[in-house]
């Protein structure tokens, strides 16, 4: 619910950044407001719809925490659609009432040639025209695709390290998945861990794990054991409290049977598999199969590394973490689809009579959308950081996973999904022929001489 606050801001950033791009191309406020709103809303709806169908798959297949998280995610995306139609679509209306050609200068942008004008330069030779593509809003394009080997190597190393963490240290699942008892002692004062361990041993809880906690400035302990009988668990907690001079107000007992955790794990895995299948089907129909596969690879990259952090640092996997992982799926797909949408748009716009490589289209597309990706990430991280710093233990578990996943999702969109797609697409006969011809320039920013 807290993350819902940022949903409208994400869509607004997409539309406004596209509006700024249209102005940089030399369009007036009137034309930029119309075309910018149309293209920006379409891009956001595509990205939202991928997340929406994923959330619906999780909702109808999952149970418990999975179902609740999916419902919240679906409602958030659905309300964004309403926001697009009712609010974003009318944003262009005031601009239509007037036309200020000097508006780009007022907004700090120098009008530039349109995309077609930047590509078609009749006085250039065919070979020079082939490598002199378009320019983004940066004065010098960032060569993301030129460094694709570095990005993919870093990602591969992180995935391998995460897998090693799974094997060497393993994931620590909470009692919600394994079953057992959790006793939260509060206001324990000067009681030490040794005294707590001795009191637990007196009631036959010799295998319990003890963790120190601080609640509202008061010291305490979190005790976990494999006891699954509620009556026995309460008796043990009462015995420990009596031995340490505590009252019933100083502890809370939570007991969960093993069947509930097993059902949650099964439903989560099934829901995840269904969601992956739905993502592949929709993205394949909307764009192409290769885009769907690379988007799923980037998604798995984010989830594996996030879980690897939990494995290496031995952080408990709770239902809140599972909910966070499902939310990460939405963020990772959102950024990736926004980039794929721009690549698809640029590839269609430049396919007739222009010599270019897919590496160049990919690099330019990333440069076009990287600012909006960074802005949406910053906006989303504001409530996440707030929950991490001032939230309770439940919110902190959720926020920590979201923080890692959000950063990874932003990184994987341009460092994993896009390079893999470009490499795969370049093997197609059409793109391979152009890449063989202009291969020495593939993936590099298009050079533009002074005055052009």
The structure tokens listed for 97 are: 């009432």
Return the SS3 of 144: coil
> What predicted TM-score, i.e. pTM, was given to this entire model?
0.75
What is the structure's pLDDT at 79? 65
pLDDT-based confidence at 184, cuts 50/70/90?
very high
Output 28 or 130, whichever has higher pLDDT. 28
Of the ranges 90-99, 391-400, 433-442, which is most confident?
391-400
CATH, domain range 180-256: 3.30.70.260
Instruction: Decide if pLDDT at 320 tops 90.
Output: no
- How far is residue 373's CA from residue 370's CA, in Å, rounded to a whole number? 5
pLDDT-based confidence at 159, cuts 50/70/90?
very high
What is the structure's pLDDT at 78? 63
Closest CA to 380 of 340, 415, 333, 331: 331
- How far is residue 360's CA from residue 375's CA, in Å, rounded to a whole number? 24
Average pLDDT, the chain: 77
Instruction: Decide if pLDDT at 13 tops 60.
Output: yes
Instruction: Decide if pLDDT at 41 tops 80.
Output: no
What pLDDT, in 10s, does the model give residues 414-450?
999 999 999 999 998 888 887 777 664 444 444 444 4
Instruction: Decide if pLDDT at 358 tops 80.
Output: yes
What pLDDT, in 10s, does the model give residues 260-317?
667 777 777 887 888 888 888 888 988 899 999 999 999 999 999 999 999 999 888 8
What is the structure's pLDDT at 113? 44
Q: What residue ranges do the domains of the chain occupy?
A: 180-256
- What length is written for the chain? 452
What pLDDT, in 10s, does the model give residues 212-268?
888 778 889 989 888 888 899 999 999 999 999 999 889 999 888 767 667 777 777
- How far is residue 205's CA from residue 202's CA, in Å, rounded to a whole number? 7
Output 382 or 356, whichever has higher pLDDT. 382
The answer to whether the CB of 391 falls within 8 A of the CB of 314 is: no
Tell me the longest C-alpha to C-alpha distance in the chain.
92
Instruction: Decide if pLDDT at 86 tops 70.
Output: no
């Amino acid at each position: 619910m807290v993350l819902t606050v940022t949903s409208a801001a994400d869509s607004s950033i997409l539309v406004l950044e596209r509006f700024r791009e249209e102005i940089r191309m030399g369009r007036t406020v009137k034309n930029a407001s119309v075309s910018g709103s149309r293209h920006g809303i379409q891009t956001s709806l595509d990205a939202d719809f991928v997340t929406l169908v994923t959330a619906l798959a999780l909702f109808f297949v999952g149970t418990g925490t999975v179902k609740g998280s999916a419902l919240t995610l679906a409602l958030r995306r659905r309300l964004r659609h309403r926001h697009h139609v009712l609010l974003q679509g009318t944003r262009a209306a005031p601009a239509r009432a007037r036309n200020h050609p000097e508006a780009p200068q007022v907004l700090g942008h120098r009008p530039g040639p349109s995309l077609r004008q930047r590509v078609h330069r009749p006085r250039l030779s065919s070979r020079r025209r082939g490598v002199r593509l378009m320019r983004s809003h940066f004065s010098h394009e960032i060569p993301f695709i030129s460094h694709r080997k570095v990005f993919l190597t870093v990602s591969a190393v992180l995935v391998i390290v995460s897998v090693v963490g799974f094997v060497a240290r393993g994931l620590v699942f909470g009692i919600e998945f394994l079953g057992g008892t959790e006793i939260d002692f509060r206001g324990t004062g000067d009681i030490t861990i040794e005294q707590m361990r001795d009191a637990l041993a007196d009631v036959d809880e010799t295998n319990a794990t003890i963790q120190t906690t601080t609640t509202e400035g008061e010291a305490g302990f979190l005790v976990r054991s494999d006891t699954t009988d509620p009556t026995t668990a309460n008796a043990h907690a009462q015995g420990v409290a009596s031995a340490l001079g505590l009252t019933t107000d100083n502890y809370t007992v939570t007991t969960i049977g093993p069947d509930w955790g097993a059902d949650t794990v099964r439903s989560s895995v099934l829901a995840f598999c269904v969601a992956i299948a739905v993502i592949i089907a929709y993205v394949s129909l909307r764009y192409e199969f290769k885009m769907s596969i690379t988007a799923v690879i980037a998604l798995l990259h984010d989830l594996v590394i996030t879980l690897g952090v939990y494995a290496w640092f031995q952080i408990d996997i709770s239902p809140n973490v599972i909910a966070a992982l499902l939310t990460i799926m939405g963020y990772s797909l959102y950024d990736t689809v926004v980039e794929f949408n721009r690549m698809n748009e640029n590839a269609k716009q430049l396919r007739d009579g222009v010599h270019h490589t897919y590496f160049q289209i990919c690099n330019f597309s990333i440069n076009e959308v990287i600012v909006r990706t960074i802005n949406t990430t910053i906006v989303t991280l504001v409530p996440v950081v707030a929950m991490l710093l001032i939230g309770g233990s439940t919110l902190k578990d959720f926020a920590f996973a979201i923080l890692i996943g959000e950063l990874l999702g932003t990184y994987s969109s341009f460092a994993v999904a896009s390079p893999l797609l470009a490499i795969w697409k370049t093997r197609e006969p059409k793109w391979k022929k152009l890449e063989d011809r202009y291969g020495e320039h593939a993936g590099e920013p298009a050079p533009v001489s002074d005055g052009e």
